[in-house]
Amino acid sequence: MTRVLAIETSCDETSVAIVKNNQVLSNIVKSQINIHSFYGGVVPEVASRQHLEIINQAIAQALIEADLDWPDIDGIGATCAPGLVGALLVGLTAAKTLAIVHEKPFVGIHHLEGHIYATYLEQPDLKPPFLCLLVSGGHTSLIYVKDCGEYETLGQTRDDAAGEAFDKVARLLKLGYPGGPIIDKLAAEGNKLAFALPEGKISLPGGGYHPYDFSFSGLKTAVLRLVQKLEKEDNELLSQSSVTKDIAASFQETVAKGLTKRAIACASDYGLNTIAIGGGVAANSGLRWHLSRAAASHNLQVLFPPLKFCTDNAAMIGCAAADHLSRGHISSLNLGASSRMAIQDVMELYK
Ligand code: KG4
Ligand code: ZN
């Protein structure tokens, strides 16, 4: 059994957890959403300063809630890439300092690998290979999970992430931040067939379209044009909540269908019979509905971890760190933070 204290500070959640392999002993998550919503999105410098203010308190609280002390901890893990560099540095520096002071091994974790491991927290018996559909505010990918540290990105967005598209559309409908949950709620009361919106497709040089890559910026622009057209026709139209609900429902339907189509095609083509979902957009009711239905008709299993493990949290980072540690994968204390890093390169973190 490997007990890890893990830290996640890649964006706007300060999180510290203690896990014993796949079992969560404590998971402290302090969201900064209230602060960033004032600006309509995450402000990187504000995020770093907030992490710095609360990290020590979160570490202490994680130990208290797990009822453990430093001698009980086998290693320290922290997200080191990808993410906001200033924000990552806070968690990474705290983790490396704790590793030195308490003489524990240090394990740097790729944020997306953490999202993949979130599924194991609820499904400890799940074994690779499987497909992970990762849909968050910063990422939209289809990842072939082969083993611990062994991944292949089969599809990804060429522009905006799915969550980013929800946030941008919510902003142009003047609905607030983060947009995903607000649009989801409004969509439930709207008509998803009210407006025909284009599905983003990536053309291939030899003709046809990429079967697994995503694009959301064209869809966002289509919603912008629709709003401009409706406002031109009637300045007051958007203030009628039924129109906003119809736009929200039509947009959500287009995103959910596009994600579902690619995830199912990818799993079927690669002979993978399980699709695990990660990231904040996994909460979306339209996506859940389409994916569950399509998976059932294709004889595929689809796993939605509980929302607290889909959105950013340190428990998933700890779960990945415990697996790496148990395989002898340890990071150098010289490891730095990186804003970008392909998930294929994860094993570079343990050289
Ligand atoms: O995984 P996450 O917490 O943070 C990132 O790593 O980005 O995802 C946050 C994203 C935001 O863009 C938010 O609007 C979106 O997830 N989101 C949703 C829903 N709940 C959160 N998008 C669609 N429907 C939802 N119910
Ligand atoms: Zn994330």
| 261 pLDDT higher than 80 | yes
- Highest mean pLDDT: which of 42-56, 170-184, 259-273? 259-273
User: How close is the Cα of 137 to the center of ligand 1, in Å?
Assistant: 5
Ligand 1 atom closest to 283 (CA): 26
Cβ-based neighbours of 291, under 8 Å, separated by 6 or more: 133, 256, 259, 260, 263, 264, 275, 277, 302
Instruction: State the average pLDDT over residues 277-290.
Output: 96
Q: How far apart are CA 298 and CA 193, in angstroms?
A: 25
User: How close is the Cα of 43 to the center of ligand 2, in Å?
Assistant: 16
User: How close is the Cα of 239 to the center of ligand 1, in Å?
Assistant: 25
Ligand 1 atom closest to 311 (CA): 3
User: How close is the Cα of 204 to the center of ligand 2, in Å?
Assistant: 29
| Closest to 79 in 3D by CA, of 17, 135, 148, 162 | 17
Residue owning the nearest CA to atom 7 of ligand 1: 137
Ligand 1 atom closest to 307 (CA): 20
Place of tokens 């730095």: 336
Q: Which of 185, 281, 287 to mutate to test the pocket of ligand 1 (most atoms within 8 A of CB)?
A: 281
CA 56: distance to chain centroid? 24
Q: By three-state DSSP, how is residue 7 classified? A: strand
Ligand 1 atom closest to 177 (CA): 14
Task: Supply the pLDDT for residue 235.
Answer: 73
pLDDT tens digits, 4-22: 999 999 998 999 999 999 9
In whole angstroms, how far apart are CA 340 and each of 87, 216, 307, 337? 13, 20, 25, 9
pLDDT tens digits, 181-215: 999 999 999 999 999 999 999 999 999 999 999 99
DSSP assignment letter at 9: -
E strands, 121-242, are 130-135, 140-147, 150-156
Total-model pTM: 0.94
User: How close is the Cα of 202 to the center of ligand 2, in Å?
Assistant: 24
Cβ-based neighbours of 228, under 8 Å, separated by 6 or more: none
Residue owning the nearest CA to atom 13 of ligand 1: 180
Query: Structure tokens of 302?
Result: 């689809």
CB within 6 Å of ligand 1 — which residues? 11, 136-138, 163-164, 166-167, 178-181, 184, 279-281, 283-284, 311-312
Place of tokens 């300060």: 14
Ligand 1 atom closest to 111 (CA): 6
| 177 pLDDT higher than 90 | no
| 40 pLDDT higher than 90 | no
User: How close is the Cα of 227 to the center of ligand 2, in Å?
Assistant: 30
User: How close is the Cα of 72 to the center of ligand 1, in Å?
Assistant: 34
Buried b or exposed e, range 225-238, using 16+ CB within 10 angstroms: ebbeebeeeeeeeb
Where residue 260 falls among pLDDT bands split at 50, 70, 90?
very high
Task: Supply the pLDDT for residue 77.
Answer: 98
- Phi/psi region, residue 234 (left: phi>0; alpha: psi -120 to 50; beta: rest), is beta
Residue owning the nearest CA to atom 14 of ligand 1: 180
In whole angstroms, how far apart are CA 205 and each of 154, 209, 211, 282? 18, 9, 13, 32
User: How close is the Cα of 286 to the center of ligand 1, in Å?
Assistant: 13
Q: Which of 12, 119, 166, 289 to mutate to test the pocket of ligand 1 (most atoms within 8 A of CB)?
A: 166
